[in-house]
Structure 1
Amino acid sequence: MAAAHEAQMPFIRNLASSDRKLRTASLDSLKLFLSSRTSLDTQDAVLSERWPHTEALRMDKFLLLVRRAFAVMLECAQKSPAVVDDVLREWPFEGTGDLRKVPLGLRLHVLDLWVDELESTKCLENDEAKDLVKKIGDLVLELQTCPVKAVRERAKESYQDGRLPWGTKDEDMSDAEEADDDDDDEWGGIEE
């Protein structure tokens, strides 16, 4: 078994060679081999495993790490949508199966940030990424039937975000903003 792997990857043997040119060429070959393989599911497994052990003082950094990992996942999704769609369906947006695989807090955090990251990676503006936005929206829509109440509510709330093509803008907010514009000229005092 090991001999078959060695025959498929001769650069492993060449890394131990005494010839500098051969080692350098082999190292370049190894770098190319490793860079050609994107493994998104391993980062998800590590994040899910480390979530319960994160101290409260380090939680902000961990949440930022989750945000950046999700942004990288979206950038990779623009290049190969099928692979990332499978990873997203398995990891943060899984609504059926073993729900213990992804901790609830991590799942809720991803539901909070997915629209922000779609916006920051320019997926909402890019016509080529409209299919990706639709696929992720469909995954979030499926979470509205999740057995966990907090996930259902958060999925419904984030799916209706006004920045999304199908989202609804909050009319109460726009009325409040118009009222604020009228009152900017002077202070009316304390009303009784």
Structure 2
Amino acid sequence: MASQNMPFIKNLASSDSKIRKSALASLHTFLSAKHIATTLSPIDILKLWKGLFYAMWMCDRAIPQQTLAQELADLIYILPRESVVPWLRGFWATMSREWTSIDVLRMEKFLLLVRRVVGASFRWMKGAQDGKADVSAATATKSKKGGKKGSGKEKSAWDAKRVDQVLDILAEWPFALDEDVKEDSDSEEEEEPEADEDDEDAKPQHESLRKEKTEKKENKDPLHLLAKKIPAGLKIHVLDIWVDEAEKVGMLDFESDEEALKIVQRIIEKIEELEQRTVSPAIRVRSKDSLSDDRLPGNDKKPVEKEDEGWGGFDN
């Protein structure tokens, strides 16, 4: 089991920055091993993200916080493709669970972490292109500075499956339509029949039914067992920053990238539905603000008309 090979988790929350850095390096090595990363259970992922949450919690000063936030966001680039979606789900589950416990003094660095993860998720949607590996934010920045011209073709190379996966995660967590989405399958199941102690034929059926239901509960993904009560503040933050992060990865280059336009329109549809169905006035207002961003399609800036200054006298 993968969890037996994660002794570094406790060190992620150490008060000693050197120990935290060493634990993070161990995590990189751990996740780089494909045979390990692909066997991580949802519980393992939640344990790792809890450790990473406290690594950010213990990190002081602006520059180290910015560096750590980017490092945590870029972890998806060392994971095998099939492990990225469970990893991102673990992130949103952890942030949703811990959000209300973050104090005012620490909130800013977690706002940055969410921003970086959203940006990394958008960048991951482009996928590996022309046989190249996925590119982290740090690598992308270097390539912009010293890259060759003609790399613009890569901007439109969106991976359809990855796009679907990331948009599904956004709809499932920060853009969840209900303020409190819980797993309802158990309540919808029929009640167990009461076993008659004198009815020998009923006992085996009753026991097998109970065993079957127990197995179903054990096999459920723990991430889906969590009550997805997304804090309003977390939703509002994602509504505030998603357009900025979309712009950074070229998702707003509508004239040169028709596929990007389709992706943005899908996100807009999710936010429109959120605006209509939310019971939170704050989320409704911020949804409207997000949809009215001048950078989105159909929201072009209107030319500002100059006010009539009146008669200015005779020209000399």
TM value normalised by structure 2: 0.43
**In the alignment, which residue of structure 1 is the partner of 2:16?**
none
Hey, what's the Cα distance between the residues in 2 that align with 1:106 and 1:29?
32
**In the alignment, which residue of structure 1 is the partner of 2:122?**
74
Alignment counterpart, residue 161 of structure 1, candidates 293, 308, 313: 293
**In the alignment, which residue of structure 2 is the partner of 1:140?**
271
Hey, what's the Cα distance between the residues in 2 that align with 1:44 and 1:124?
25
**In the alignment, which residue of structure 1 is the partner of 2:167?**
85
List per-residue Cα deviations over 1:63-98 (Å, max 9, x = no partner). 000100111121233431111121111111112261
Hey, what's the Cα distance between the residues in 1 that align with 2:122 and 2:34?
27
Q: Determine which structure has the larger helix proportion and give its number.
A: 1
Question: What pairs with 1:25-174 in structure 2 (closer than 5 Å)?
Answer: 29-30=34-35, 33=38, 34-36=79-81, 37-38=83-84, 39-78=87-126, 79=159, 80-96=162-178, 98=180, 101-125=229-253, 126-145=257-276, 146-169=278-301, 174=304
Hey, what's the Cα distance between the residues in 2 that align with 1:120 and 1:161?
15
Aligned residues with identical type, % of pairs: 36
Question: Is this contact kept in 2: 1:92–1:102, CA < 8 A?
Answer: yes
Provide closer, same or farther for how the CA distance between residues 54 and 28 of structure 1 changes in structure 2, counting only shifts above 3 A.
Answer: closer
Hey, what's the Cα distance between the residues in 1 that align with 2:288 and 2:300?
12
2:295 is paired with a residue whose SS is coil
Hey, what's the Cα distance between the residues in 2 that align with 1:86 and 1:51?
21
Question: Is this contact kept in 1: 2:239–2:287, CA < 8 A?
Answer: yes
Hey, what's the Cα distance between the residues in 2 that align with 1:55 and 1:32?
32
Hey, what's the Cα distance between the residues in 2 that align with 1:55 and 1:97?
22
Hey, what's the Cα distance between the residues in 1 that align with 2:239 and 2:121?
14
Question: CA RMSD for the aligned pairs?
Answer: 2.6
Which runs of no fewer than 5 residues in structure 1 stay unpaired? 3-11, 13-26, 183-192
List per-residue Cα deviations over 1:115-170 (Å, max 9, x = no partner). 11111121111433222111111111112212211111111111011101122436
Hey, what's the Cα distance between the residues in 2 that align with 1:57 and 1:101?
24
TM value normalised by structure 1: 0.69
**In the alignment, which residue of structure 2 is the partner of 1:6?**
none
Question: Is this contact kept in 1: 2:179–2:279, CA < 8 A?
Answer: no
Bigger drift between 137-146 and 160-169 goes to: 160-169
Hey, what's the Cα distance between the residues in 1 that align with 2:302 and 2:175?
25
Which runs of no fewer than 5 residues in structure 2 stay unpaired? 6-31, 39-78, 127-158, 182-227, 310-316
1:101 is paired with a residue whose SS is coil
- In the TM superposition, residue 111 of structure 1 has moved relative to its aligned partner by 0.7
1:41 is paired with a residue whose SS is helix
Provide closer, same or farther for how the CA distance between residues 82 and 142 of structure 1 changes in structure 2, counting only shifts above 3 A.
Answer: same
